[in-house]
Structure 1
């Protein structure tokens, strides 16, 4: 899922208006001196900036394996520029690169070993709660007050709603500048036009559309090559989700976000039920089992843990439907490198069994920045984030005058081709404080934004329904910020189990028999106790269902 996703989603979708297109590393396991560092805001073993030398700070950086030219993240122009700006503030910054798909695993290893960087990142609020409860994170209230004035000025709204546990701050949450930065369904309009079909409006109609894509091959790629629905492995950090289709089956987001990139479950008659405990959830996965058996999703999706096959499927033009946190123009532009006539458009939410429509909308907060207790210089870590806040345009749009120019509050790309090579593929992952830079743009703003493109009117026409879909149908899930001991104990095991069990259910010859294993395993891992705890929290919050 997301940690309100992401995704990450995840493209920061307002940033997409600028250009459209964040390696395992060891550390010092010695935790001695940590308490004195917190008390003084000093380094306790690290070099102080006051003596003329630089303070060392190590920062997580996700690698999405999408470099267009084989360039290492550590050697890119924005990384070098950020390091230069940090040195002016007395900081020596090292980026600790790890594959995006290994975020959860690597963070857990770092937290257990004490060998991680000074700043670790996640979308998983539950992980932050767990580590805070275990005493593994620095409290940040005083550090933020002393060293983060520019942070507070930049992301005040997100600080008000997220990052605290039991009344104390343990994370600095990035602020989403547009709540459209979330999962959304997209479909190939050029394929629909060739087949004389309208966009599907229900899950049943989606099946018929996928089947027509496979059987009639509107892209002319050969029936055996068509993969109608681009979908990677069911695990955190992937680029493809099934939020939209699962909403269409009647599953909502009434529970807290987890690492499973799908709707969490339904709250009805005062009781919460996780997706796998719902008949609607079972029937959705029966649907996935059906489309898998008929070759409507990739036969190798289970092993596509880095989304490489997923990306190949849609960019090569063999797929006609997807659910991801990229906007339709971004995927159109990527696909047109291979198929010039390709046109991806927004697919509005499918009509649910109760006749309503809804889609997941991002919360005002996003990525969580945390400082593990193994960091001997938490003050330097906060100082780095403050440097980032002071140079926020750099990670929102690149170097001003080189990659973009600012006009009427818009960041207009100077040379989109240059940007694609130099910054588009990674620079948003350096932006740990904001996701995007503006709210939902108007059509006129988009036309101006893309004035350097040969088709600004078309781009605006593609993107406008995308933003309007979120505005009309978007819903946000609950933010439970009270202690949840059952979740702390069981959610990691539940998630790990479901990654494997749901994948087996999708590819099973006997779906019903395999689904019994899903439910029984979920129960053995504490699923029913998890739901009871969520129910207690939702009742205390007077939560109203998103399934209306």
Structure 2
């Protein structure tokens, strides 16, 4: 099967098993099929003469330097003026540390104190809450209070928020689907008279030249920078480029460790590491601080990370200062046996918003999410007021203010715009240009980098299969397997070449015995049931 050309439906449930939810999640005896309680209805029907109802909404605290009060800024004032007053409500934001959001959410859910609108990026966590009857089902609320929201998201996006055939969460629409990207120092290539590599052999020759000739004349040149498995730095679509021919079922259901060619991919990485072509201490870099420093200090010739990583301020600004002539460009260099540059992209949904059963304001919460789907509301929350927070250039908001109370604590106010993940101007091209402009801060070279990177990293893209039901084995074993996966990657890359084959076989057997086989077997079962229907 030509899997390079096939785009497979997206997966809801992540492979990482997160902390268990306390048994008290939800804290009442209502069945999962129930919607708003009488107490919940009261908030939505309150008259203007009644005391205002407080609607609590989760917001991430990302610890951004100089950020304003997360509950009192330009954006929260707008929400309370435009939504709160007409609905006799006060919207109060409950901050949750981004780095601890799962643990914090588990505690709040177990204590029946989670915000009326809570969210997470982890589909498995939502499944756990739904299984323990800790969430409102939202079908009736969507029908009665969420028509604008339904129209904006569409059936496909909403389908990722279903469990056991019922709507238990509201997925945000992901407007940009690119994931990983790869970047190379074009100025180094030019100084060596070398072309941009287009396949593995060419990249290998380039990395060797970077190591041996040190075109940047830096102390401690690093041909390819990476970090510990599971961090921002990745191996791009290298591994997929080694995969051999598979049927659709094999491609979808087989654990990566058993896919044909997967072992060869890590053997190649092992070769690069032992030839000093990869960051020497990458396995110890569990925060990416070292890799970030190496890139921004101008020591690195090639790296793979998020498709927009070079535009991040923590990378861009110090690199421009430390290596003014540095010029990273996006590159597609891992071609597979079909001549395709197979790479995984994001599915259509972003985060999952949900209403805990402990909420007394379920109808008001749905009205809030429905209100947010208004194009005028989304535009203001993402870009602010024209002339004050941004200026329009060819229909693209430019120069988005990032100071004082106007500061956005996440790109395009991601944490305040729960129904969308990414710029929303109605079409992909405008969304990409807008996102690029927001990150590039007026630098046209970086805008071009982002636009080119998005195009490259959505070419030959595929998304994971959407089974429509949770993999119970994954819920049981996923945390263990996720941890093992990271350890396996690091150990295999740094192994002695003579020991690689035996170590690979040993680790894969341990992985399958620890639950990998059970997860794979259930994937096969669920896949065949989907196909049978």
Q: TM-score range with shorter-chain normalisation?
A: 0.7 to 0.9
Q: The residue matched to 2:253 in structure 1 has which SS? A: strand
Measured at CA, do residues 524 and 369 of structure 1 come closer, stay the same or move farther in structure 2, by a change above 3 Å? same
Instruction: Show the counterpart of 1:14.
Output: none
Q: Name the CA distance, whole Å, in 1 between partners of 2:446 and 2:151.
A: 33
Paired residues of 1:4 and 1:124 also in contact (CA < 8 A): no
**1:533-548 matched pairs, under 5 angstroms:** 533-542=522-531
Which among 403, 406, 412 is matched to residue 398 of structure 2?
412
Instruction: Show the counterpart of 2:324.
Output: 340
Matched, 1:386 2:370: yes
**1:36-75 matched pairs, under 5 angstroms:** 38-40=35-37, 42-43=39-40, 50=47, 51-61=50-60, 63=62, 67-69=64-66
Q: Name the CA distance, whole Å, in 2 between partners of 1:153 and 1:114.
A: 31
Instruction: Show the counterpart of 1:359.
Output: 343
Measured at CA, do residues 382 and 508 of structure 1 come closer, stay the same or move farther in structure 2, by a change above 3 Å? farther
Q: CA deviation at 1:38?
A: 4.2
Number of equivalenced pairs:
501
Paired residues of 1:446 and 1:460 also in contact (CA < 8 A): no
Measured at CA, do residues 122 and 217 of structure 1 come closer, stay the same or move farther in structure 2, by a change above 3 Å? farther
Q: Name the CA distance, whole Å, in 1 between partners of 2:155 and 2:333.
A: 28
What per-residue deviation string (whole Å, max 9, x for no partner) do you get for residues 249-306 of structure 1? 2289x9xxxxxxxxxxx84668832112235222323333344444444444445444
Q: CA deviation at 1:140?
A: 1.4
Measured at CA, do residues 371 and 281 of structure 1 come closer, stay the same or move farther in structure 2, by a change above 3 Å? farther
Which among 302, 314, 318 is matched to residue 321 of structure 1?
302
Q: Unaligned 5+ residue runs, structure 2?
A: 1-9, 15-21
Structure exhibiting the larger radius of gyration computed from Cα positions: 2
Matched, 1:193 2:190: yes
Matched, 1:96 2:114: no
What per-residue deviation string (whole Å, max 9, x for no partner) do you get for residues 142-176 of structure 1? 22233334422432255454211222111211112
Instruction: Show the counterpart of 2:243.
Output: 250
What per-residue deviation string (whole Å, max 9, x for no partner) do you get for residues 431-455 of structure 1? 32212214332799789969x9775
Paired residues of 1:346 and 1:466 also in contact (CA < 8 A): yes
Paired residues of 2:127 and 2:470 also in contact (CA < 8 A): yes
What per-residue deviation string (whole Å, max 9, x for no partner) do you get for residues 375-426 of structure 1? 45434443443343342123422444322234554223266x7599933755
Q: The residue matched to 1:526 in structure 2 has which SS? A: helix
What per-residue deviation string (whole Å, max 9, x for no partner) do you get for residues 357-382 of structure 1? 22223322222223343445434443
Which among 211, 216, 229 is matched to residue 213 of structure 2?
216
Which among 193, 202, 205 is matched to residue 202 of structure 2?
205
What per-residue deviation string (whole Å, max 9, x for no partner) do you get for residues 27-75 of structure 1? 9x78545749944263499999653233241414162x5x354767567
Instruction: Show the counterpart of 1:16.
Output: none
Which among 505, 510, 520 is matched to residue 531 of structure 1?
520
Q: Name the CA distance, whole Å, in 1 between partners of 2:387 and 2:13.
A: 30
Matched, 1:422 2:420: no
Q: CA deviation at 1:346?
A: 1.7
Paired residues of 2:68 and 2:404 also in contact (CA < 8 A): no
Paired residues of 1:59 and 1:120 also in contact (CA < 8 A): yes
Which among 433, 440, 458 is matched to residue 428 of structure 2?
440
Matched, 1:473 2:471: no
Q: The residue matched to 2:183 in structure 1 has which SS? A: strand
Paired residues of 2:184 and 2:329 also in contact (CA < 8 A): yes
Q: Name the CA distance, whole Å, in 1 between partners of 2:431 and 2:139.
A: 41
Q: Name the CA distance, whole Å, in 2 between partners of 1:270 and 1:364.
A: 20
TM-score scaled to structure 2, two decimals?
0.78
Q: The residue matched to 2:478 in structure 1 has which SS? A: helix
Q: Which moved more, 1:463-472 or 1:194-203?
A: 463-472
Paired residues of 1:118 and 1:377 also in contact (CA < 8 A): yes
Matched, 1:490 2:480: no
Q: Name the CA distance, whole Å, in 1 between partners of 2:530 and 2:13.
A: 25
Q: Name the CA distance, whole Å, in 2 between partners of 1:196 and 1:41.
A: 73
Q: CA deviation at 1:481?
A: 0.7
Q: Name the CA distance, whole Å, in 1 between partners of 2:523 and 2:75.
A: 42
Which among 500, 503, 512 is matched to residue 511 of structure 1?
500
Paired residues of 1:195 and 1:218 also in contact (CA < 8 A): yes
Q: Unaligned 5+ residue runs, structure 1?
A: 8-26, 255-265, 544-548
TM-score scaled to structure 1, two decimals?
0.76
